Amino acid sequence: MHSTGDKKIALEMITDEHVQGLMKDFGLENDTPEGQAEILDVIGETLMSRVVLEILKRLPPEEQPKLEKYFGSGDLKGLMAFLAPHIPDVERFINETVMNELASIREDMKRQA
């Protein structure tokens, strides 16, 4: 379980400018809120898929299927306990994964534009 202090640090990492920059990179800064939400939904799934994949990569093969039981289970504490032996500093790991994927998406979009 993370502390409030950690969250504050995390909160500072993604600012309004990040989000606006992301929307701008996507060319959606002037889209409707509904339109932006639609894309953000896809981004959300993309980011989370990446997080799941990166976690899976770090789990021993026999442990990988166990991750599934935490999907939608409500057992956050159990999840963190499950991940802790395999991924030290889970929060930082997830944070970095998300940020890297976000940057990668952004570059990808820019390159293709």
Partner 1 sequence: MARAALKQRLGELQEKLGESASVHEQELSDLTNRIENLPRAKNASEETDQIRNAIVRLEGQSSGSQDVGSNPFTSEYFEKAEREAGIEEAHIAIRQGKDPAAALEKFSATDRREVWEQLSEEERQNTIANLSDAQQRELDRVLGGDEQTVIPPMVKNETVLENATAKLSRPKTDIQKLRDATSDAISARFGRKPGVRVPKTKGSVWYDEKNQAVHVVGGHGGEIRIQEGESYNFGSKKEGENWKKLVSLKDRTWSDDVSDRDKAAARRTFRATVPRELATKEEQAIPAHVQPDEGVTDAQIQAELERARHRAQELGIDTSNLSSAKPAIETGKREEETKKVSNITRSSLSKTVRMRRLFRKTADRVKKEKAQPWVSTSRGRGAWVKEPKKEPTQSDSADAKKDKGSMAMAVRKGGVDSVTAESTQKYNMIARGHYDIQHPEFRFRIMRNGKEEIIIIPPGIFDKDEVEKNKNDKTELLEMVYREQERQEGLKAAAKKGLDGSPPPTEKKEEIPLNKLAYGFVPGVDLFKRRIANWFGKRPETEMQKWVDGGKTIENQDERGYKEGMERYRAAVRARLEARKRGTIMSEAEHLGLSKTLHKFAEDWKKHKWKRIAISIGLTGLGLVGTTGAVAMSPFVLGGIASAGLAMRVIGGSITGLAVYNTMYAYFDRQNYAPWRSRLYAGLCAALAGGTVASGSYLLQHLGVTDAVMDSLGFSPTDVTPTPAGEGATTLTDISPTGKDDAISAVSPEDSETSDGVSDVAAGPEGVSHEISYDTDSTIASKGIDGLIDEQLVSNGGALESYNLPPEALEQFKDAARRVFVDHPEWAQALQQTDVDVIANNDVVFSDDGTINMRVWGDPRFLAALENTITKQEVAHLVPALGGEDRVHDLIDDLKQRYA
Where in 47-106 is the site for partner 1 (CB under 8 A)?
A: 47-53, 56-57, 64-65, 67-68, 70-77, 79-80, 90-91, 94-95, 97-99, 105
| Minimum CB distance to partner 1, residue 85 (Å) | 16
Is there binding between residue 29 and partner 1 (CB under 8 A)? yes
Q: What's the CA gap between 103 and 109, in Å, rounded?
A: 10
Which residues, 6+ apart, have CB-to-CB distance to 110 below 8 Å?
A: 25
Planar angle of CA 83, 74, 12, nearest 5 degrees: 65
Structure tokens belonging to residue 51: 């997080």
Binding-site size for partner 1 (CB under 8 A) equals 76
For residue 31, count other CB atoms closer than 10 A to its CB: 14
| Minimum CB distance to partner 1, residue 92 (Å) | 9
Indicate the residue among 38 and 86 with the shorter CB distance to partner 1.
38
Question: Is residue 63 within 8 Å of residue 86, measured between CB atoms?
Answer: yes
Binding mask 6-25 for partner 1 (x = CB under 8 A): xxxxxxxxxxxxxxx-xx--
